[in-house]
Every structure is written in structure tokens, then in C-alpha cells.
Amino acid sequence: MILVTGASGTVGSATVAALKAKGVDFRVGSRSPEKAKALGAPAVELDWDRPETLARAVAGVEKAFLLTPISDQLESLTRAFVDAAKQAGVRHVVKLSAMGAGPESIALGRQHGAGEEVIQSSGLDWTMVQPTSFAQNFLNYYGVDPEKDSTVYLPLGEGKASWVDARDVGEVAAAVLTDDGHQGKTYVLTGPEAVGAAEALAMLSEALGHTYTYVDVPEDAARKAMTDSGVPAWLVTAYSELNSVIKNGYASGVAPGVKQVLDRDGRTFAEFARDLAASRS
């Protein structure tokens, strides 16, 4: 049995879709199992604020896809999950991490790096999946409205990123969870090319038939907007660091992880845009 945590999010739902396509037995862990049934998979309660639910969620599980919520307590959440997994006899944990995770990284990368260390020192088999920023961020966070023209305000300058399609991340996760030979490996996942924000919006404009205008804003203005909208201070700092990574070109490298696992290149941003348009027609 495979357990998928964070199944209702962008990567989690992509992983669920990929596992369903493979026809394997799995279940999803969710704070609200009733709502999770909409994913079309068996669901079990998993509430990160109630550690006692972890033991029930991992009972009878052999492999787990660990997608922790965005939190400044990521290391302790990972440790709680690993402790429950070990007691339940889970053999293999696949962690959704982040590209560049480690002690010398930005805040989010340091948190994921600490979580990786917890798993690596646990005695369990492990695989780390380290994606870069997602193409879906343009919809989920950056303000692109597929139904109408939009102006997108971002502090990314002319920086480029090798945006990865979350569907590729989900397919990689599903392959790692169901195939042999991935234990002890780390896969860095990117798209096959680096694309700037203005270029990405142009591709979305062409595919969706709307006009998406990019406005580069100062970092201070972006921080203020996040703060004013209620984003916690630690997360404002973390997102600002991530924006800076893209702005300064540190996210433009292309990594081979998708091809290593799936034996094909990752989807381009243009493919993501075209598929998005097709899914709405």
C-alpha cells in the first residue's frame, strides 16, 4: 500500500492522477477524508496538528509520498511522520523537497534540507524529489486568470527559471513509488529550458487567447503586498528569497531528473500553456 500526503494540492493531485493511471493500490492522507474522496481514491485522516492521526494514516503502508504543508516547523513535522512510519513498518519514504535544499540554501531550502536529513538518518529507504518552481505558479500565485486579461505584478526582473510542470513531478513521484532502483537517490526536476516571466506570459496569452501583461515591481513593494494580505513574516521572507533566486538567474539551470526517471524530457512551458488551454475548451 502507498500513502500520498498533501494529495489535494498541485503536486499531490498530479501524483494521485499518475498513480491512478498506473492502476496501483494507494490511499491519500487528508485533514478532511470526506473532501478527499473527490480525488477518487481511498482516504484516511491525516491532520498535522493532531500527531495521533499519523499512526493511523501510515498503518499497513509500505511506501509513502511525503508532502508536508508549508510551515516553519517543517523539520519537526517530518520527524513526527518518520517516527510514525518507522513504528508502522513503512519501508520507503519519497519526500517532495526543493531544488538546492541544504544548509547553505535560502530559508525554504534550508527547511527542506533539514527534513531530508531527518529521513536520511532514519534507517528507512528514501528518495528525494527536488523540483524547481512550478509552471502552475502563474495560475496559483501570480495572478493569471485563464478567463480574462490579467496584469501580473512580480519582482522577477528579467530573470529566467526552468519552470517545471507539476504533472511531471507527479509522474516522477509515481514512478519512484512503484518502480525499483530509486532508493538512496535524489532527483532534481526542472523544465527543459529557462523562460522569463514576460516570455511565459506571452505563451499563456497565445494559448488562452487573453492578454497577460507583466509588470516588474520592486522587492519592497512585493513584500508589502504580501504582508498587507496577511502572509506571515517568515513566509514573506522566504518568498522574497525565492523571488530573488529567480531574478538573479539562479533558477535558470536545467537538470536531468525528469529524464532520468521517465526516460523523456520534461514538458516545456509552451506545452503547459497549450495543455491548459485544451483542458478548458
Reported as a single tens digit per residue, the pLDDT across 14-69 is 999 999 999 999 999 988 767 767 778 888 889 898 888 999 999 999 999 999 98
Report the C-alpha gap between 58 and 206 in whole angstroms.
45
The confidence score (pLDDT) of residue 257 equals: 97
Domains of the chain: 2-131+164-190+253-267 (3.40.50.720)
The confidence score (pLDDT) of residue 41 equals: 83
For the chain, how far is it from start to end, CA to CA, in angstroms?
36
Report the C-alpha gap between 125 and 102 in whole angstroms.
19
Report the C-alpha gap between 207 and 83 in whole angstroms.
46
Q: 146: which residues sit within 8 A by CB, 6+ positions away?
A: 139, 208, 210, 276, 280
Residues 224-258: pLDDT tens digits? 999 999 999 999 999 999 999 999 999 999 999 99
Three-state secondary structure call for residue 268 = coil
Report the C-alpha gap between 175 and 129 in whole angstroms.
11
Phi and psi for 161 in degrees, rounded to 5? Answer: -135, 150
Nearest to 143 by CA among 87, 204, 66, 207: 204
The confidence score (pLDDT) of residue 280 equals: 82
